């Protein structure tokens, strides 16, 4: 039973990461026309397109991707609590609150992990292959987070330390979550 829960968790986490990435890419105006953007869109259209019919956008933001990620995490939370069974001694309202909190917390953590991954990818690609197809999307995704840090952290000998500072701040945020 634990193997099945592990496999379901892995698949749900993969798709939730893609849904969050799609939302973040749209929010930061990353182009979906390249290989990476096309990959994200094709793997998430099955849920996002139908949800757009019932979930309106807000301020130009496509909320269907967020709703898809939250829905999947809620299903995973429900599965986890059903597997736990009688070991969770609480009423239905408390279990529902715990499932929603678990889902939201997990989505926030996934968002932070996506940002950390994009920062590491951007830093590595800037040294190894700045013309990689992933370089521009990673740069566009991280720019809104790095620009405020760059105002306070100067480049030293041509080396930008703002990704390091951002990763440290995101790690501290993970500790709070």
pLDDT digits (tens, 9 = 90+) for 69-96: 999 999 988 888 777 665 555 666 777 7
Q: Rounded to whole angstroms, what are the CA distances from 135 to 68, 123, 128, 139, 154?
A: 27, 9, 10, 6, 22
Residue 147 pLDDT more than 90? Answer: yes
> What predicted TM-score, i.e. pTM, was given to this entire model?
0.89
- Which pLDDT value is given to residue 66? 94
- Percent of the chain residues topping a pLDDT of 90: 59
Mean per-residue pLDDT over the chain, rounded: 89
Name which residue leads in pLDDT, 170 or 132. Answer: 170
pLDDT digits (tens, 9 = 90+) for 32-67: 988 999 999 999 999 999 999 999 888 878 899 999
Alpha-carbon gap, residue 113 to 165, rounded angstroms: 15
> Which range marks the domain in which residue 94 is found?
2-176
Q: Which residues pair with 61 in a beta bridge?
A: 58
Task: Domain count for the chain, please give it.
Answer: 1
Provide the pLDDT confidence category of residue 169 given band limits of 50, 70 and 90: very high
């Amino acid at each position: 039973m634990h193997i099945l829960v592990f496999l379901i968790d892995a698949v749900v986490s993969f798709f939730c990461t893609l849904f969050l990435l799609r939302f973040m890419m749209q929010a930061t105006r990353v182009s979906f026309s390249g290989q990476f953007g096309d990959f994200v869109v094709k793997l998430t259209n099955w849920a996002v397109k139908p949800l757009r019919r019932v979930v309106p956008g807000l301020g130009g933001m496509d909320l269907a991707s967020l709703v898809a990620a939250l829905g999947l995490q809620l299903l995973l939370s429900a599965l986890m609590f059903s597997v736990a069974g009688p070991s969770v001694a609480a009423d239905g309202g408390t279990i529902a609150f715990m499932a929603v909190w678990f889902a939201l917390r997990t989505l926030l953590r996934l968002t932070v992990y996506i940002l950390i991954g994009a920062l590491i990818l951007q830093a590595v690609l800037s040294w190894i292959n700045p013309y990689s197809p992933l370089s521009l999307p990673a740069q566009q995704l991280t720019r809104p987070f790095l620009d405020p840090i760059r105002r306070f952290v100067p480049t030293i000998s041509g080396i930008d330390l703002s990704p390091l500072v951002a990763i440290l701040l995101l790690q501290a945020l993970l500790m709070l979550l």
